[in-house]
Amino acid sequence: MTGLAKLFKVAFDGQDLTQLGTDLLNRAQTDVNDAEALMDLSIVLQLKYQKEIALGVQAQALKIKTHYCLPAEGTPSIKLLALMAPGDITTNTPLEFLVENSSISLDMIYIGQRLPLPKTLPEHDVAFLAIGESTDTRPILEGLTKIVDQWPCPLLNQPRNILKTSREAAPDYLASVDSIVMPSSQRIGRKTLKANEIPSPPFIIRPVDSHAGRGLAKIERISDLNDYLSKVQDSKFFISPFIDYRSSDGLYRKYRVVLISGIPYACHMGISQNWMIHYLNAGMTESEEKRREEEKFMTHFDTDFALRHQKSLKSLQDTFDLDYLVIDCGEMQDGKLLIFEIDTGAVVHAMDPPDIFPYKIPQMKKVFSAFHDMLARVANDRKDL
């Protein structure tokens, strides 16, 4: 099995996945029990924006088996077991990016409807609940809350706390934190939207369970909404008040921060003239000036951003109490931390070309080392019992 991280890197580098997909399809047709080929093919199809076909291929693989393994480099120092749910590449914490090319072995078991937890689990030192919150995964997470307390070894990211990260729930949990702004998210159906029974614009709209900007738009007038609904065919949406978070220079800045055992680490910073920032469309590769600012953000993170928002980051950790949590955020001009999204499934990676982003190498090594140290610490605590 090649796995998510390596296949994602191929796509990230702009290489054509067509031949690789053809080779995987041939493998699966030659050996109908080659579940690893099917799982890799499912990832390739998702990276080529063929989600529905990809999920069908994944379902075929899971009928064959639900346990997949990515071995460590050499003898494993830690055996990590991830509990995962069927779905696209946004469904689960992408742990492969965090442990690839390391001495950590990763066993992945898929559970869910018609996929019961196996009676016998692979040997492991630490378990990690990789299932993120969504409409489809809520029943799985709710079911796990009843059994994880009896887990035979440390289990990171408790299901009851993952459930708190939903777009609807998270703003309520943070409403009393005066140093944080997180706009409320209202779930609303298509029929209600078409009847114009909505708050006054401007507001942000996105399909329920969408990620990476799919279907995300700013509605400034009712005609914008009608045009939006003619193009986006989902049946349920989230709407949130639009918050203007431009800095004093008129640019928008979006930060990705990960909390590992409660300690914050910088992952990236995007700068754009557009309020809807995605790192890949923020022009970071093309702008040396933007990269210099991101380098400063990363290099001085502990004594600048993390120090300025120390109270807010601690409140986030105290509120959600997750061992691993990713935050996409901005800064208001009054100094408050603006939270766009809180989840456990955002990609934290080191794929950017080192000749253009040399400052990212030491920073991402710091992030990965923190994750590895967390696993080692909880594994050793268990051995000391």
Structural domains of the chain, ranges and CATH numbers in brackets: 1-65 (no CATH), 184-241 (3.30.1490.20)
Average pLDDT, the chain: 94
Residue 293 has pLDDT above 70, yes or no: yes
Give the pLDDT confidence score for residue 382 in this predicted structure. Answer: 62
Please list, in sequence order, all residues whose beta carbon lies within 8 angstroms of the beta carbon of residue 232, skipping any fewer than 6 positions away: 207, 215, 217
pLDDT at residue 262 tops 90? yes
Q: According to the model, what pLDDT value does residue 210 have?
A: 84
pLDDT tens per residue, range 327-336: 999 999 999 9
Higher-confidence position of 71 and 196: 71
The whole-number pLDDT of residue 113 equals 86
Q: For a pLDDT cut of 90, what percent of the chain falls above it?
A: 88
Q: What is the pLDDT of residue 242?
A: 93
**Confidence band (pLDDT; 50, 70, 90) for 380?**
confident
Q: Specify the 3-state DSSP secondary structure of 332.
A: coil
Mean pLDDT of 151-171: 96
* Stronger pLDDT, 300 or 279, i.e. the higher one: 300
* pLDDT, average across residues 222-241: 91
From 2, 211, 234, select the one nearest 87 (Cα to Cα): 211
88-136 pLDDT, tens digit each: 999 999 999 999 999 999 999 999 989 999 999 999 999 999 999 999 9
What confidence category does residue 199 fall into, taking pLDDT thresholds of 50, 70 and 90?
confident
Residue 80: pLDDT over 80: yes
Q: Is the pLDDT of residue 252 over 60?
A: yes
Task: Enter the tokens of residue 158.
Answer: 């408790």
Rounded to 5°, angle at Cα 132 from 131 and 135: 110
Render the burial of 278-316: b for 16+ CB within 10 Å, e for the rest: ebeebebeeeeebbebbbebbeebeeebbeebeebbebb
Over residues 158-174, the mean pLDDT reads: 96
* Run of H or E including 296: helix 288-299
Burial grade of 19 (CB within 10 A; 0-12, 13-18, 19 or more): exposed
Q: How far apart, in whole angstroms, are the C-alpha atoms of residue 349 and residue 260?
A: 15
Residue type, 1: M
Pairing of strands 217-219, 203-207: antiparallel
Q: Which of 101-110, 169-178, 186-195, 302-311 has the lowest mean pLDDT?
A: 186-195
pTM: 0.94
- Would you call 379 helix, strand, or coil by DSSP? helix
Comparing CA positions, the residue from 160, 142, 1 lying closest to residue 69 is 1
- Residues 6 or more apart whose CB falls under 8 angstroms from that of 219 comprise 201, 202, 203, 204, 205, 225, 228, 239
CB 35 within 8 A of CB 68: yes
Q: Does pLDDT of 70 surpass 60? A: yes
Percent of the chain at pLDDT > 70 equals 98
User: What separation in angstroms does the CA of 225 have from each of 187, 204, 207?
Assistant: 16, 10, 13
Q: Report the range out of 169-178, 187-196, 374-383 with the highest average pLDDT.
A: 169-178
Q: Name the range with the highest mean pLDDT among 35-44, 109-118, 186-195.
A: 35-44
Q: Is the pLDDT of residue 385 over 50?
A: no
The pLDDT value recorded for residue 332 is: 96
Query: What pLDDT, on a 0 to 100 scale, did the predictor assign at position 171?
Result: 96
Residue 359 CB coordination number (10 Å): 17
- Secondary structure, 3-state, 125-159: CEEEECECCCCCCHHHHHHHCCCHHHCCCCEECCH
The band of 263, judged by pLDDT with boundaries at 50, 70 and 90, is very high
